Amino acid sequence: MPEMTLFKKLRELVHHNDKIDLDLDDIQATVLRERPEPYYGTHAMVRFDTAEGGRELLKRLLPHIASAEKWWDVKYAWTAAAISYEGLKKLGVPQDSLDSFPESFKVGMAGRAEHLFDVGENDPKHWEKPFGTGQVHLALTIFAENEENWQKALVIAEHELEATKGVTLLMREDFGAQPDSRNSLGYKDMISNPAIEGSGIKPFPGQGPAIKPGEFVLGYPGEAGVPLGMPKPEVLGKNGTFVALRKYHTNAGSFNRYLKENAEYTGGDAELLAAKLVGRWRSGAPLTLAPKEDDPELGHDPNRNNDFTYKNDPEGLEVPLGSHIRRMNPRDTKLELLTDVNIHRIIRRATAYGPAYDPKADSLAEDKVERGLYFIFISAKAMDTTEFLQKEWINKANFIGQGSERDPIVGLQDEDLTFTLPKEPVRQRLRGMDTFNVLRGGEYLFMPSLSALKWLSELK
């Protein structure tokens, strides 16, 4: 869209397209509003050393945490806040409230490694500290649409942290500022998020009917027609949601080498192979609509870049059945194991950190560059959904009849595994795929409503 960023376009769409029946002024902006594009920001992990310190920090931060109603009205940028189970305990949340949270949230992501297929090089024993230690009590994220506003917001956040006794900043990671908002492997990201009923934003073509809000925000009916169970009391649970945060390190050199070594299977075109692995060209143009060559104009048009089905590609000749986007949203693909796709959708707020991807760098040294992605999955049942996706759709392929193959982008690879490239008359099976994105850490978090954050800051 010339002369208009997606972020600004979304501003215009809000309040103009469907009946507003969610408490938008109480739901954190990050839940229902896309991050800016381009985007700048910071992730920060904080420990509450005392209950008083934690509550005081929440009180100080609350004015800077924007709602989905007025997410652009904050002074410089918006801040998102999410709290771990250990963080809620440290704040002094009553035991009966703590008991009302899901068991997987209480155990934490590291404790659920087996259910997430976080084994081998993704095992929590290899994670960066402080992830998985139980010390991450609060995760803060600042989003801004330009560097100046990001720096101003960062100064404010640093001041609030320094002025609060009884809290410790454990780590900080800056992100964003990638050319054309590409991710750590050079692909345009954040294209296919689900449309949410009542969010105030009309679905883009190809998104399908809006999904019931209760799948993403607590206190509202989901696809089954009833609200999911939520934490107690209501002031704590309603309008909140859960977050699965996963930090990945990207082996860009290994990815580039793999493309070069296997480009022969696509007629020597490494970029076409890169598109086959994901299901989109790096510009964001879907292979279904641009099967032969990239179409950047299509990739940048939200009214066209998601408007497709797999009706005419049941065998995966254009978009391989095991490609990343076809796994994560099968659409009308015939599934071997019947699944309601809508109840496994998640809101994604991915952010890229480190230097921009270089398509020509294929040395081992490139794998050591600190570059990667934070996958931020938001859902009213984020733990269950993330564990299902990780174990069934990412690290298996029975649901699409591809056996033991794994997601080529975020799957945990093994030297004996293959990637099937459907072709006529004979399919090709590519071997030697490395794990291109290695897990460096993660946390299960609860993202409270604004009223819940106030309630938490005033606990006695």
280 is an annotated ligand-binding site residue: yes
Q: Which residues pair with 428 in a beta bridge?
A: 421
409 is an annotated ligand-binding site residue: no
Which residue in 376, 443, 66, 379 sits closest to 240, CA to CA? Answer: 379
| Token digits of residue 316 | 């995966």
331 is an annotated ligand-binding site residue: yes
Is residue 176 within 8 Å of residue 351, measured between CB atoms? yes
In degrees rounded to 5, what are phi and psi of residue 439? -70, 130
303 is an annotated ligand-binding site residue: no
427 is an annotated ligand-binding site residue: no
Q: What b/e string do you get for 73-90 counting C-beta neighbours within 10 Å, with b at 16 or more?
A: ebebbbbbbbbbbbbbbb
In degrees rounded to 5, what are phi and psi of residue 113? -55, -40
| Token digits of residue 54 | 């934690």
292-296 own/partner pairs: CB under 8 Å, 24+ apart: none
324 is an annotated ligand-binding site residue: yes
440 is an annotated ligand-binding site residue: no
15 is an annotated ligand-binding site residue: no
114 is an annotated ligand-binding site residue: no
329 is an annotated ligand-binding site residue: yes
348 is an annotated ligand-binding site residue: yes
Which residue in 92, 237, 66 sits closest to 144, CA to CA? Answer: 66
Is residue 322 within 8 Å of residue 402, measured between CB atoms? yes
Helix axes 147-162, 51-61, angle to 10 degrees: 150
DSSP state letters, 268-287: T-HHHHHHHHHSB-TTS-BT
What residue numbers does the annotated binding site for Ca(2+) cover? 434
What residue numbers does the annotated binding site for heme b cover? 191-192, 280, 324, 329, 331, 348
What residue numbers does the annotated binding site cover? 191-192, 280, 324, 329, 331, 348, 353, 366, 370, 434
What residue numbers does the annotated binding site for Mg(2+) cover? 353, 366, 370
